[in-house]
């Protein structure tokens, strides 16, 4: 499957996939058509406020499989359909994703560099129009035009165990 054929097939399917996912009661996050090791893979990410489990993916996969088989969107005769959650380090695709995850840690890759850097890690502060306000670790706040973001995802930080100080014991360095 050539890149052009892949793009055309994806354009035909995009709206239908979104509609089906939303009618099933889930949030449509993203979809892509890829060629991996000689196999065509249609990957669809779904979400919901309560999170996604295997049963949710199975429901959407069955409905989507039937729709694709019935509508003949131009996929090869054999393809693999993957429906999954966006995961703990969810990708951010739309400007509304940045609004939704304000206050969360994220990793952003820029199309054009900022002071010679393309990779930023920090916290999404807010969104104003088509600009993301971002606080980079070890730096101040920066405004990033949404069109300058090539990809981004949330950053999961495992909560560290808080170790209480035993009564009567002094912390190291105290007298």
CATH number at residue 22: 3.30.300.70
CB 33 within 8 A of CB 42: yes
Query: Can you give the CATH number for the domain in which 141 is found?
Result: 2.30.30.180
Q: Are residues 79 and 7 in the same domain?
A: yes
Q: Are residues 7 and 33 in the same domain?
A: yes
Residue 170 domain flag: no
Instruction: Count structural domains, the chain.
Output: 2
Residue 135 domain flag: yes
Q: Determine the structural domain holding residue 39 and report its residue range.
A: 3-84
* pLDDT averaged per 10 residues in sequence order, the chain, 175 residues: 66 88 97 89 95 97 93 78 96 96 98 90 98 95 97 91 58 52
Q: Are residues 25 and 45 in the same domain?
A: yes
Q: Are residues 38 and 74 in the same domain?
A: yes
pTM of the model: 0.79
Q: Are residues 45 and 66 in the same domain?
A: yes
Q: Are residues 63 and 125 in the same domain?
A: no
- Name the nearest CA neighbour of 106 among 59, 114, 51, 93: 93
Residue 161 domain flag: no
Q: Pick from 32, 56, 84: which residue ends a domain? A: 84
Q: Are residues 77 and 20 in the same domain?
A: yes
Tally of CA atoms within 13 A in the half-sphere of 46 that contains its CB? 27
Which run of H or E residues covers position 98?
Answer: helix 95-100
Give the pLDDT of residue 174: 52
CB 57 within 8 A of CB 47: no
Give the pLDDT of residue 14: 86
């Amino acid at each position: 499957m050539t890149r052009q054929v892949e793009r055309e097939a994806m354009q035909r399917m995009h709206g239908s996939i979104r509609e089906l996912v939303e009618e099933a009661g889930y949030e449509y996050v993203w979809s892509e058509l890829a060629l991996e090791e000689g196999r065509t893979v249609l990957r669809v990410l779904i979400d919901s406020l309560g999170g996604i489990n295997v049963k949710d993916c199975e429901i959407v996969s069955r409905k989507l499989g039937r729709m694709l088989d019935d509508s003949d969107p131009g996929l090869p005769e054999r393809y693999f359909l993957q429906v999954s959650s966006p995961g703990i380090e969810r990708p951010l695709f739309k400007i509304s994703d940045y609004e939704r995850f304000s206050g969360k840690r994220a990793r952003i890759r820029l199309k054009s560099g900022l002071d010679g850097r393309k990779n930023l890690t920090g916290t999404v502060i807010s969104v104003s129009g088509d600009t993301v306000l971002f606080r980079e670790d070890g730096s101040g706040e920066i405004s990033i035009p949404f069109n300058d973001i090539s990809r981004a995802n949330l950053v999961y930080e495992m909560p560290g165990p808080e170790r209480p100080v035993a009564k009567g014991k002094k912390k190291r360095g105290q007298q």
